[in-house]
Amino acid sequence: MSGVHIVTDSSCDLEQDETDLINTEIVPLSIRIGGEEFTDRRDLSVEDFYSRMANSDVLPQTACPSPGAFERAFRSAGDAGADAVVCLNISGALSTTLQSAQTAAATCEGQLPVHVIDSRSVSSGLGTLVLEAAKTAGGGAGADSVLRRVRDLIPRTHVFAALNTLENLKRGGRIGGAKAMVGSMLSIKPLLDISGGVVQEAGKARTRKRAMQMLYERMIGAGAIEHVAVMHGGAPDIDEFLDLIAPHFPRKVLRVGKLGAVVGAHGGAEIIGVSWIAAA
């Protein structure tokens, strides 16, 4: 199929049925748990990941896709008739995935235009950008128009998360601007802001219920927002959170999904995350 094809990576946390019909391909990261390595989304489901993590003494690790994996995705798009490819990836400050995509794009130079974009986001923030890029491309827009749309949305995309612990982030070395919270991490439920593509402290709560309230306060304090998504990593209280925010954000207007292994490996289990795009 001609037109602009979209490529992304599995940190977008989109379900396969969300991408099958919109000229979008997801290149998976790898997940290592103990001595076993899995291809995200292909041979490790979200449920299996959280089960394995709960029963392992070893912190899960993630590895970016190889340049070859991205090259195969780009060339597959070309073989399908793509005029160009726009590749949206997890924040370059959080993963070397972007570098792999850039290396792969260079191998296609002169054969197929490939535009690699740092989303400065992750999970549903990245997923929303991918869906909007695909929607624009699906309307017949060329690469320049798709890129303008994405570049307009990136600085307006916000991602917040309530964690049960900072232990995974600390041990994995991705704690970023939340380092100051480590000293008291056993007695708090941290709120993080990943809106700029790096991990920043956004608040400290003494209880899980207060952490959910703080997430809600962030949402209603953001003014006019759209494309609101709620993601969770097997959180047993996700319905409680959805009920909490329902007065302003009823379920029928939300995109609700599962937080995948890429983010779960670094954030731990039972995360509740929200993302949105600030209205222009």
Average pLDDT, integer, range 90-111:
97
Q: How far is CA 188 from CA 149, 163, 167, 274, in A?
A: 39, 9, 12, 19
CATH number at residue 246: 3.30.1180.10
Over the stretch 38-97, which tens digit does the pLDDT of each residue have?
A: 999 899 999 999 999 989 888 899 999 999 999 999 999 999 999 999 999 999 999 999
Unique residue bearing structure tokens 């054969």:
111
Of 155, 180, 202, which residue is a domain's last? Answer: 155
Which domain range does residue 26 map to?
A: 4-155
Length of the chain: 280
Top-confidence residue, 155 or 180: 155
Residue 272 is predicted with a pLDDT of 97
How many CB atoms neighbour CB 155 within 10 A? 12
Of 155, 170, 189, which residue is a domain's last? Answer: 155
Exposed e or buried b for every residue in 56-72, given b needs 16+ CB within 10 A? eeebbebebbebebbbe
Cβ contact 29:262 at 8 Å:
yes
Contacts of 256 (CB under 8 A, 6+ apart): 229, 230, 231, 242
- The verdict on 225 and 254 lying in the same domain is yes
Residue 1 is predicted with a pLDDT of 72
CATH number at residue 33: 3.40.50.10170
Top-confidence residue, 70 or 196: 70
Residue 187 is predicted with a pLDDT of 65
Residue 177 is predicted with a pLDDT of 45
Question: Considering just the CA atoms, what is the radius of gyration of the chain in Å?
Answer: 18
Instruction: Assign 19 a pLDDT band (cuts: 50, 70, 90).
Output: confident
- The verdict on 194 and 148 lying in the same domain is no
- The verdict on 199 and 144 lying in the same domain is no
Of 124, 139, 155, which residue is a domain's last? Answer: 155
What is d(CA 219, CA 247) in angstroms, rounded to the nearest whole number?
12
- The verdict on 80 and 144 lying in the same domain is yes
Q: How many domains does the chain have?
A: 2
